[in-house]
Amino acid sequence: MLKKSMMVLAASLALSTGAFAKDKIDIVFIGKNTGNPYFDSLTKGFVDACQKIACNFEFVAPATAEATSQIPFIEAQVQRGVDVIAISPNSPDALNQVFDAARAKGITILTVNGDITGNEPHRDATILPTDFTKVGADQVEMVGSLIGYEGEIAILSATTEAPDQNFWIQGMNEALKDPKYAKMKLVATVYGDDQPEKSTTEMEALLSNYPNLKGVIAPTTVGVAAAAQVVQSRGVAEQVKVTGLGLPSEMRDFIKDGTVKAFQLWSPYNEGWLAAHFSVDLKNGTVKNEVGATFDVPNLGTITINKGNSINTQASLTTFNAENIDEFNF
Amino acid sequence: MSTMGTPTLTSPTRLEAAAPRPLWHVILVRPETMTLVLLIAAIVFASQLSPYFLDIGYILRSFTLSAEFAIVALVLTMVIIAGEIDLSPAANMALSACLFAWAQASGFPIPIAVAIGLLAGLATGVLNAFMIIALQLPSIIVTIGTLTLCRGLAQLIAGDKSIRVPDWFIGIDKVLVLGVPMPVVIFVVAALVLGLTLASTIFGRQIYQIGTNEVAARYAGIRTRRIKLVLFLLMGLVAAVAGMMTASRLGSVRYDLGLGGELQMVLMAMLGGTYIFGGRGTILGTFLAAWLLVVVSTGMTVANLLPAIQLTVLGVLLIVAIIATNFIYSRTQR
């Protein structure tokens, strides 16, 4: 039995080397967790790209977005011998060791939609939807404009460790020091762990604990949808303005009935699309992974690799409201 | 054995209670046999599922991801055989690792930081033992309490941030002994030592007697309280070691290290045929079950199966194991 299996193994190794000869590279994208609609759109970008250019694509994700849950998945992809691992990391540092091991085997590690801030040397490049240093300030301005720059606000985040979330929250705290927002007071930052039930509970608790709450920023698609659902069912949309980062497909009904006036995001689809093109160009040698290098991506134009091997798909956040919501279908 | 012939099985005398069990029956009809059969089936199935699975290096590397839990599960097996349970070790791992990392980050020399971590683990063991043995409280309630307490303390110490460990401390899983990662070696050695202790020392036999009937054991002169104290202290100490091994593997420590690990540990003991009400079970069973769990989850992960399918398979596996264990015990030890 063992012998037979070893032969199967040998045969398949031969097959996969055969695949390399055809210059089709293997890309896998490891999401934060399963059942997160945000990643459906991102994944579709990869899938569509790999139908047009020379790559094979697979999506995998652990059941929970816990710090170490992605490790067995990375190990498995190393074992499968993929060329590129694109990943939305659940931890800024718990994955360092396994990233190093993968890169030692010649696998390119791209962090997508979130970076391992402070541990950048452990990955090859990062693909971020927009300049993340501006997200916090943009979100504060958004909620400020909705509440007339006055009153108590709160933040409903994802998990306590999510690197991108913490980076934005830090940006929001800094933006709030601006005299323009002097009459706005951040009263709480709570964590819904990107689970609809927990986010709903946290939002309910915010409304109970802070009766004077005027606005809530939920910079996560799961959180903002849950928050909107809560203010809608309680009928308090006029008193408490919900905004944040949301998916147009999930937020459309809330925009249409006026529960949410406006929210922001980028196109996750473009991240997948860009990541696939970058991977193929990188492996073909048509682009070097160096700061300042440029490459062309269909529909997105010329993309530049910025400081820290960071690549952005768009310059600033897109704001969605009743006027433009129907133009977006992700 | 020659007594294996079918006539014995079908003859009416088989129904009489006094018939002794044939030797093959004693050797083969055991929960560990079931675990072994499941393990072999899992290996065969996993290698059919994905051509990338059957690579001993990969399987060993994957085992290191669960080795810390598996080591603790060996001691847990002894605790369960003694008729108790301990659900606090995974949280204890986090607390010990956080205290260790915090101590070395705030400038204590490494040996002192290690000692602090080990003492924290031991302290949890003492706390458990005090409430269970001296106050006579049920261990399941007590250890759910200490589980929560340890997580809380770990979060107080570490906050929401990770604490780095020094570079030279990182990578216990990269240390190879004859090609085998160090955590796996530690697991195998621990299994041998604990397995021999449980199976062939007086201390080991006494653990079984306590789990079978504690009152009778006490009347027979067994120092039940002292033995339980040893077990809970060992549990705390081993959890602390496992916590630091995890810190070395990950390179950083956070309060949620090993979150939910207690369930995996209990799962390993149950899959290995340990009887939840005490008195029955072996280290060999838990040893095999640890490999079974790793093979099953690794096999499905490398085949890119969805987590939902993986959870379903693990659930079915556990239910099958529990039914089989109870069936075998009810058949063999009436």
Name which residue leads in pLDDT, A102 or B30: A102
Q: Which of B52, B53, B167 to mutate to test the interface with A (most CBs of A within 10 A)?
A: B52
| Predicted local distance difference test score (pLDDT) of residue A179 | 93
| Predicted local distance difference test score (pLDDT) of residue A132 | 82
Across the interface, whether the CB atoms of A67 and B256 are under 8 A apart is answered yes
ipTM over 0.90 threshold:
no
- Distance to chain B for A98, nearest Cα, Å: 8
- Distance to chain B for A212, nearest Cα, Å: 28
Give A-chain residues touching B310 at CB under 8 angstroms: 63
pLDDT, one tens digit per residue, over B203-256 is 999 999 999 999 999 999 999 999 999 999 999 999 999 999 999 999 999 998
| Predicted local distance difference test score (pLDDT) of residue B16 | 57
pLDDT, one tens digit per residue, over B152-198 is 999 999 987 889 899 899 989 989 999 999 999 999 999 999 999 99
A97 vs B171, B256, B304: nearest CB = B171
| Predicted local distance difference test score (pLDDT) of residue A12 | 47
C-alpha–C-alpha distance, residues A168 and A184, integer Å: 18
Across the interface, whether the CB atoms of A161 and B302 are under 8 A apart is answered no
Question: How would you classify residue A262: left for phi > 0, otherwise alpha for psi between -120 and 50, otherwise beta?
Answer: beta
Name which residue leads in pLDDT, B13 or A64: A64
DSSP H or E stretch at residue A276: helix A268-284
Proportion of chain B in helix, strand, coil states, percent, rounded to 5: 75, 0, 20
**pTM for the whole structure:** 0.81
| Predicted local distance difference test score (pLDDT) of residue B19 | 66
**Structural tokens at position A321:** 């409201």
pLDDT, one tens digit per residue, over B127-145 is 999 999 999 999 999 999 9
Average pLDDT of the segment spanning B290-301: 94
C-alpha–C-alpha distance, residues B140 and B308, integer Å: 29
| Predicted local distance difference test score (pLDDT) of residue A18 | 41
Average pLDDT of the segment spanning B112-118: 95
| Predicted local distance difference test score (pLDDT) of residue B7 | 47
| Predicted local distance difference test score (pLDDT) of residue A268 | 87
B160 vs A2, A13, A160: nearest CB = A160
Query: pLDDT averaged over chain B?
Result: 90
| Predicted local distance difference test score (pLDDT) of residue B15 | 54
Give B-chain residues touching A9 at CB under 8 angstroms: 47, 51-52, 54-55
B54 vs A9, A34, A68: nearest CB = A9
CB contact at 8 A, A96 and A116: yes
Nearest alpha-carbon partner for A93 in B252, B97, B98? B252
CB contact at 8 A, B70 and B290: yes
Half-sphere exposure of B39 (CA within 13 A, CB side): 20
Give the amino acid at B286: T
C-alpha–C-alpha distance, residues B223 and B26, integer Å: 30
Residues of chain A with pLDDT under 70: 1-22
Name the percent of chain B lying above pLDDT 90.
75
pLDDT, one tens digit per residue, over B303-319 is 999 888 888 998 898 88
**Structural tokens at position A24:** 């089709």
C-alpha–C-alpha distance, residues A176 and A256, integer Å: 30
The per-residue DSSP string of B67-81 comes to HHHHHHHHHHHHHHH
pLDDT at residue B302 tops 80? yes
C-alpha–C-alpha distance, residues A70 and A88, integer Å: 10
